[in-house]
Amino acid sequence: MPEFLRSIQKAYLSSTGGQLLGSLGALVVLTGIVLVVRRAGKPLKRRYSSRLTEALQAGVVAVCVVGTVYWLMVVWRVVPAIGLVLDALSVNRWTGARLLLIAGVIVLAYLLIRLLNRSIDRLAEEYGAITDHQSEVAYHVADVGVAVAALFVVLAIWGIELSRLFLSAGALGAVVGLAARETIGSITAGFVLLFSRPFRVGDWIVVEEYEGIVRDVTIVNTEIRTFNDEHVLIPNDQITSEPLVNLSENNRLRVDTEIGIDYATDLDDVIALAEETMAEMEEPRSVPSPQAVLKELDESSIVLEARFWIDDPSSRRVWGTKTAFIQAIKEAFDREGISIAYPQRVLAARDEGGEVGPHAEHGSLSPATDGGE
């Protein structure tokens, strides 16, 4: 203990009343410092960044708390008692210094975790850079990372060789990796999805044969709700290794509808009528403009494909718009006398000479003659 503290003990803290006044004064000073630090937060944040201000406030309060605790130990003459206890436990000064240093590392790790968590909250709330789920994952990553780093520092303070620890951890990691490689692969893929952000909760995605709305994304798997109201869990490593289609990425989607028209129909009139029908609907976007194109020549019809774009794509909106278009184009075709093609078949009968020829009337078949029977 410093000599000036011994002088203060003898002069002012020798009686119980002096000790009580010294303790009360220390607590009052600590409370005043905390209030001043809190009040100084707003002007400091206007001049400096929030993170720097919060780190400064936390550091000042931590130093004041440690100083107050030490002062109370001096007031109540606990410091010599602690020395006697350490001597009784055969704890030398170097060991005590290690313990104090470890305590400082723990306090610093706690303050750093708190600062990182507040920074993550700021990214999520003020800037919208990450989603709520991503911020939750970032909390755990930051906490674990700081805790592991603090653990390594503590081991180094106690003189434990980290090289041997790393070798043992490497061997253990190899065994665990072989036993749980699929789970580790899913976790790694989860971090890839977290930072690459190919989709978000609420997006409409297609992965292999699975199609639906993303409900949740965890470190291990992704949950989607199909349009049959089925909840499907897809491992993250499967999502990163297979082609992924995000139908909500551009906030618009093209809807295609095929129509079979008769070969005898005027194609220009049909194309113009289809584009006019799509333009009169409410849901399709005007830009890009709706299109009607001839897709192919089928066996019994010419295939016309109507294309239009919708905003905020969802399964309900796609099928609702498609149904409305089919109803509208059917009414337009009926009004203009345009027939929709359907499969046709020509029936033929074998005559007396064994030759096959078409009949004049389709749909009727005369009985074949076979020796008058």
Q: Does domain 252-336 have CATH number 3.30.70.100?
A: yes
Which element (helix H / strand E) includes 171? helix 162-179
Amino acid at 39: R
CB atoms within 10 A of CB 236: 23
Q: Are 57 and 113 in contact (CB under 8 A)?
A: no
Flag whether pLDDT at 92 surpasses 90. Answer: no
pLDDT category, 86, cuts 50, 70, 90? Answer: low
Helix axes 181-196, 162-179, angle to 10 degrees: 100
- 252-336 shares the fold of 161-249: no
pLDDT above 60 for 17: yes
Q: What per-residue string of b and e applies to 104-136 under the rule 16 or more CB within 10 Å gives b?
A: ebeeebebbbebbeebbeeebeeeeebbeebbe
Q: What pLDDT does residue 11 have?
A: 76
d(CA 191, CA 236): 9
User: At residue 8, does pLDDT exceed 80?
Assistant: no
Domain ranges of the chain: 3-157, 161-249, 252-336
pLDDT recorded at residue 19? 82
* Backbone angles phi and psi of 339, in degrees to 5: -95, 140
Q: What is the pLDDT of residues 115-148, one digit of tens each?
A: 888 888 777 777 666 666 667 677 777 888 888 8
pLDDT above 90 for 323? yes
Q: Identify the CATH class of 161-249.
A: mainly beta
